[in-house]
Chains A and B, each alone.
Chain A
């Protein structure tokens, strides 16, 4: 293919488009990180962030239990149901404490949150060390 002025122009435009796309993507990621940091820090948004993190942690525990129920062994301690449960319990404790607890109470979720917390603490001894697939299956229900 011969390098004509037309081809050269098209290549330049393509390159410019790619560069603009890369810059836009970088800016988007940067803004997302900023927004996430603000959510963590600003008091008005901190409750929302804590709730979303707790919900996220609950789904990770559910996934870990599903893997244990399927008889999978965990290479990483961080992936075990015992570890995930400890993190979830700590997150729930934060939601029930102080001003955050008052907000949760205002929306009428404190009672059910306390019940769930209690149930999870009852389940703690079952997850110590290794959990057998049957117990994991029962806990998923």
Chain B
């Protein structure tokens, strides 16, 4: 009986922690806004949107992956933040994420792609990405780890110069 009570308490605590993280208010961006998230989100720090500067993105936890960029054929070590963690931070729920770039490129990323844990890269091979070199943010997929990601469709989702994410319902 005690074990059951303890288990219930642990589950309730874990649930409340998860909820509180998603619902935790997002402070206003102090630096240059690198990423704006709109659409079906619960957490905002500006009217109808969530804005992230570099420090806010880095606070979500740095991740890295090694992948080959199909255009150059070169393999790079990308570092940044998980796309999934950004969407979780704003309480995003939807079917697709429309990723838009400073160069006006746009592509829809299905929610299902989050299972591959794509990265929003902020640096490549230790060099911070700048606008002139596919930065400051670049969506990269672990295409070297999953053969299913090595096709034109998934390659088209490597959005460089990313600046906006819009979460849409099914």
Contacts and interface: CB of A to CB of B under 8 A. Distances in A.
A57 interface: yes
Interface size grouping (class) on chain B:
10 to 19
A83 B103 CA distance: 10
Contacts of A94: 71
Nearest to B130: A86
Given A87-B131, A87-B161, A41 B156 contact: yes
A72 interface: no
Contact of B152 (A42, A57, A93, A100): A42
B99 to A, nearest CB: 13
B160 interface: yes
A20 B76 CA distance: 52
A78 interface: yes
A40 B156 contact: yes
B144 interface: no
A14 interface: no
Interface string B101-130: 011010000000000000000000000001
A93 B131 CA distance: 12
A91 B133 contact: no
Interface in B58-81: 70-74
A85 B132 CA distance: 8
A90 B161 contact: yes
A85 B131 CA distance: 10
A13 to B, nearest CB: 39
Contacts of A86: 130-132
Given A41-B156, A78-B102, A90 B72 contact: no
B153 interface: yes
User: Which of B73, B103, B134, B161 has the most A CB atoms < 10 Å from its CB?
Assistant: B103
Contacts of A46: 152
B103 A99 contact: no
Nearest to A87: B103
A83 B153 contact: no
A98 interface: yes
A61 interface: no
Contacts of A78: 102
17 contacts: A41-B153, A41-B156, A42-B152, A43-B152, A53-B103, A57-B103, A83-B131, A85-B132, A87-B131, A87-B132, A90-B161, A91-B103, A97-B71, A98-B70, A98-B74, A100-B71, A124-B132
Interface of B: 70-74, 102-103, 105, 130-134, 152-153, 155-156, 160-161
